């Protein structure tokens, strides 16, 4: 009997629970239907138009507050096909008002027909004045969305600043936060700082009637959200210096990079050929992009941070510093040079100069033989018990100067350059090689590859007597007190600062006393420089020059590389010298040299065939 009463009680309890649950659901339904009107209002969504509010991208200034990139107003033309007046639509009138090709309009309307309820973009980059004319025409089913488009007041820094383009299918898969029709930074600063520049989209809900005409804002904007503009950036670039450098490099293939040694800020960065960044804005962007893409000189390729060039004789500075640190070289050590270096059948030619010579004079005159002796002494140092171990140690030194790896700058396309390792030569020579086998490395040839950014960074290292700050292109970000901490840290080489003095003195003598760099002399500015001529299998040698100034209070460190330019003093040196003069004195006192540089006629067999 007790068991029966317990079962009856449990059943009654269960019935009460079920009644309570259904009662709660009933009360909730009654509340939603009779009292809470919110869901009823949202049910009208089939008469609402969701209009995306695109934010203006953040603007970019140069280091002096001058605009490099601005955003100007434009509009996208959208259509909801089911709301169109198909019978009364005047194609010719719309094309005339907005400047659209009839074929383009018909094509987009055909695409919109595939999804008649979804807004479809018909045309973009519509200027404000044409949008105002459109508003007067009452084209049913069509509406415009406010956008911004980039413009470049100085028309400089195409490769440097990059460009903006519409996201493609691959990007939509990789970045789910973007939607079709969104724009994204494709290269340069626009890409590297995309998360900050893009801002945040908003949305505006509009009530529309059965003809697609906007009646008013839905619920007085209760569910609207405002677009958040992108943050502005202050670049490290000096706009005037950038423009001047691009003018000097026009018609040439190569790169020029200038760095402020005390901060690592990039003052100027030119990749040549470059392009007018306005060419990649607007309706002709696609056509202009394809022309550049098929240009053999590759204007879209940022040689300054990505190209791999043999450094040539500028690399002798690194050899001398390693030799001093390793104790196999003293500044006073003399080595002979009789038009080159000769061991058996192996010969490394050199130009005429006095012999024997010490380290400072060897730097000033860019003696090949001297640095052959130094390089062999480094690799054949008895304390390492073999040339391969000596080579491993040499490579550690070289990497500490930032070669053979990315420097960690704020450029997404930064290249590694290349420094071979012992495994490379073991494969090539089946394990049998010595210091003579790799002798071309002594003068910056052979397998060595460096980016112009790395070479400019070498100039900054020597200027600072042994350390560098990671080169970077952005100086300030809106709303932030500082940049990433890595840009404020000193990076030291494996060479003691005291060993840099004889190298600096040699560079100063090369410009101011008598050497290969005398054409770079600027009265009162104590310019230090080192020429380089890099062998090239395609035509004339490459011309390069590395420099900093003033000697004891360096404000600028620069590297210029001109493909097929010949001797370092022929093409790269005058360009670098003019850039230094303009930056340090705010004037040009050698207009004849500007004319000489601009009138250079260099033949490029690798590109112009």
pLDDT band of residue 409 (cuts 50, 70, 90) is very high
Total tally of structural domains belonging to the chain = 2
- Domain boundaries, position 244: 239-281+306-574+598-608
What is the mean predicted confidence (pLDDT) over 565-589? 96
Same domain, yes or no, for 187 and 314? Answer: no
What was the pLDDT predicted at 314? 97
What was the pLDDT predicted at 275? 93
pLDDT band of residue 36 (cuts 50, 70, 90) is low
Tell me whether residue 481 is in a domain. yes
Peptide bond into 514 cis (omega under 30): no
Last residue of a domain, one of 208, 235, 262: 235
What was the pLDDT predicted at 180? 82
Distance CA 524, CA 438 (A): 41
**Is pLDDT at 41 greater than 60 in this prediction?**
no
Q: Name the average pLDDT for the chain.
A: 91
Tell me whether residue 19 is in a domain. no
The per-residue pLDDT for range 193-219, each reduced to its tens digit, is 999 999 998 888 877 766 556 667 777
**Is pLDDT at 42 greater than 90 in this prediction?**
no
With contact defined as beta carbons under 8 Å apart, do 403 and 419 qualify? yes
Phi, psi of 318, rounded to the nearest 5 degrees: -65, -40
Same domain, yes or no, for 473 and 526? Answer: yes
423: left (phi over 0), alpha (psi -120 to 50) or beta: alpha
Lowest mean pLDDT among 28-32, 391-395, 401-405: 28-32
Burial class of residue 108, CB neighbours in 10 A (0-12, 13-18, 19+): middle
> Which CATH number is 497's domain given?
3.40.710.10
Tell me whether residue 589 is in a domain. no
Same domain, yes or no, for 101 and 217? Answer: yes
**Is pLDDT at 264 greater than 50 in this prediction?**
yes
Angle at 112 between CA 110 and CA 115, to 5 degrees: 120
If one compares 399 and 23, the residue with the highest pLDDT of the two is 399
Lowest mean pLDDT among 49-53, 146-150, 380-384: 49-53
Of 198, 190, 193, whose CA–CA distance to 162 is shortest? 190
Distance CA 495, CA 492 (A): 8
pLDDT band of residue 1 (cuts 50, 70, 90) is very low
The per-residue pLDDT for range 212-241, each reduced to its tens digit, is 566 677 777 788 888 899 999 999 999 999
**Is pLDDT at 61 greater than 90 in this prediction?**
yes
**Residues contacting 595, CB < 8 A, separation 6+:** none
The per-residue pLDDT for range 449-474, each reduced to its tens digit, is 999 999 999 999 999 999 999 999 99
Distance CA 55, CA 44 (A): 27
What was the pLDDT predicted at 45? 44
Of 190, 184, 196, whose CA–CA distance to 158 is shortest? 190
The per-residue pLDDT for range 75-114, each reduced to its tens digit, is 999 998 988 888 888 999 999 999 899 999 999 999 999 9
**Is pLDDT at 177 greater than 70 in this prediction?**
yes
**Is pLDDT at 287 greater than 50 in this prediction?**
yes
Same domain, yes or no, for 448 and 490? Answer: yes
Same domain, yes or no, for 229 and 243? Answer: no
Tell me whether residue 294 is in a domain. no
**Is pLDDT at 43 greater than 50 in this prediction?**
no
Tell me whether residue 40 is in a domain. no
Report the SS3 class of residue 267: strand
If one compares 37 and 155, the residue with the highest pLDDT of the two is 155
> Which CATH number is 93's domain given?
3.90.1310.10
Same domain, yes or no, for 258 and 197? Answer: no
If one compares 131 and 43, the residue with the highest pLDDT of the two is 131
Torsion of CA 396, 399, 405, 410, to 10 degrees: 140
Last residue of a domain, one of 202, 235, 268: 235
Hey, how many other C-beta atoms are within 10 angstroms of the C-beta on 509? 19
**Is pLDDT at 66 greater than 90 in this prediction?**
yes
Same domain, yes or no, for 320 and 354? Answer: yes
What was the pLDDT predicted at 17? 74
Buried b (16+ CB within 10 A) or exposed e, 338-374: eeebeeeeeebebeebebebbbbbbbbbbbbbbbbbb
With contact defined as beta carbons under 8 Å apart, do 373 and 395 qualify? no
**Is pLDDT at 412 greater than 60 in this prediction?**
yes
Same domain, yes or no, for 531 and 410? Answer: yes
What was the pLDDT predicted at 495? 98
Distance CA 420, CA 251 (A): 33
Same domain, yes or no, for 214 and 248? Answer: no
The per-residue pLDDT for range 303-350, each reduced to its tens digit, is 999 999 999 999 999 999 999 999 999 999 999 998 999 898 888 999
**Residues contacting 62, CB < 8 A, separation 6+:** 68, 234, 235, 237, 238, 239, 242
What is the mean predicted confidence (pLDDT) over 385-396? 97
Same domain, yes or no, for 324 and 419? Answer: yes
Same domain, yes or no, for 218 and 324? Answer: no
Of 584, 483, 468, 460, whose CA–CA distance to 526 is shortest? 584
Tell me whether residue 382 is in a domain. yes
With contact defined as beta carbons under 8 Å apart, do 471 and 453 qualify? yes
pLDDT band of residue 40 (cuts 50, 70, 90) is low
Tell me whether residue 25 is in a domain. no
Same domain, yes or no, for 198 and 172? Answer: yes
Distance CA 6, CA 382 (A): 98
The per-residue pLDDT for range 373-383, each reduced to its tens digit, is 999 999 999 99
Percent of the chain with pLDDT over 70: 95
Distance CA 421, CA 438 (A): 11
What was the pLDDT predicted at 499? 98
What was the pLDDT predicted at 240? 97
Tell me whether residue 10 is in a domain. no
Last residue of a domain, one of 235, 270, 298: 235
**Residues contacting 381, CB < 8 A, separation 6+:** 326, 328, 390
């Amino acid at each position: 009997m007790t068991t029966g009463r317990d079962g009856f009680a449990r059943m009654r309890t269960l019935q009460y629970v079920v009644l309570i649950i259904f009662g709660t659901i009933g009360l909730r339904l009654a509340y939603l239907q009779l009292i809470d009107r919110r869901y009823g209002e949202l049910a009208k969504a089939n008469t609402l138009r969701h209009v995306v509010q695109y934010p203006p991208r953040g603007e970019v200034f140069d280091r002096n507050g001058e605009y490099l990139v601005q955003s100007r107003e434009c509009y996208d033309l959208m259509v909801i096909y089911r709301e169109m007046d198909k019978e009364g639509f005047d194609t010719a009138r719309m094309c005339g008002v907005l400047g659209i090709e009839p074929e383009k309009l018909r094509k987009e309307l055909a695409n919109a027909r595939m999804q008649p309820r979804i807004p479809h973009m018909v045309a973009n980059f519509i200027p404000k004045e044409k949008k105002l004319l459109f508003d007067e025409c009452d084209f049913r089913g069509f509406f415009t969305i406010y956008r911004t488009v980039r413009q470049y007041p100085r028309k400089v820094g195409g490769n440097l600043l990059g460009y903006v383009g519409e996201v493609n299918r691959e990007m939509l898969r990789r970045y789910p936060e973007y939607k079709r029709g969104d724009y994204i930074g494709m290269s340069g600063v626009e890409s590297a700082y995309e998360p900050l520049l893009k801002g945040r989209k908003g949305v505006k809900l509009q009530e529309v009637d059965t003809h697609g005409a906007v009646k008013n804002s839905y619920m007085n904007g209760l569910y609207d959200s405002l677009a958040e503009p992108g943050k502005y950036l202050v670049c490290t670039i000096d706009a005037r210096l950038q423009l001047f450098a691009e003018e000097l490099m026009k018609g040439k293939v190569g790169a020029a990079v200038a760095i402020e040694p005390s901060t690592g800020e990039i003052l100027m960065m030119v990749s040549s050929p470059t392009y007018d960044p306005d060419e990649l804005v607007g309706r002709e962007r696609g056509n202009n992009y394809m022309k550049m893409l098929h240009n053999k000189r590759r204007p879209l390729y940022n040689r300054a941070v990505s190209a791999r060039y043999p450094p040539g004789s500028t690399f002798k500075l690194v050899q001398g510093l390693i030799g001093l640190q390793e104790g196999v070289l003293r500044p006073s050590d003399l080595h002979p040079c009789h038009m080159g270096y000769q061991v058996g059948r192996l010969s490394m030619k050199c130009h005429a100069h006095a012999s024997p010579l010490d380290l400072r004079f060897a730097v000033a005159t860019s003696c090949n033989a001297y640095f052959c002796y130094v390089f062999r002494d480094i690799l054949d140092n008895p304390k390492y018990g073999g040339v391969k171990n000596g080579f491993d140690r040499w490579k550690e030194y070289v990497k500490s100067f930032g070669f053979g790896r990315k420097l960690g700058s704020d450029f997404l396309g930064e290249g590694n350059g290349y420094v071979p390792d012992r495994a490379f030569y073991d494969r090539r020579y089946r394990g049998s090689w010595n210091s003579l086998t790799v002798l071309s490395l002594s003068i910056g040839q052979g397998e060595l590859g460096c980016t112009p950014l790395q070479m400019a960074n070498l100039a900054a290292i020597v200027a600072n007597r042994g350390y560098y700050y990671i080169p970077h292109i952005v100086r300030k970000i809106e709303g932030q007190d500082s940049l990433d901490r890595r840009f404020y840290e000193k990076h030291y080489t494996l060479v003691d600062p005291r060993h840099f003095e004889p190298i600096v003195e040699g560079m100063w003598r090369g410009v101011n006393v008598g050497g290969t760099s005398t054409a770079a002399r600027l009265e009162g500015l104590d310019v230090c420089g080192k020429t380089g001529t890099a062998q090239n299998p395609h035509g004339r040698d490459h011309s390069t020059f590395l420099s900093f100034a003033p000697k004891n209070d360096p404000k600028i460190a620069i590297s210029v590389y001109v493909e097929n330019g010949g001797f370092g003093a022929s093409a790269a040196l005058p360009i670098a010298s003019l850039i230094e003069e303009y930056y340090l004195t705010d004037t040009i006192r050698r207009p004849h040299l500007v004319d000489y540089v601009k009138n250079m006629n260099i033949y490029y067999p690798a590109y112009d065939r």
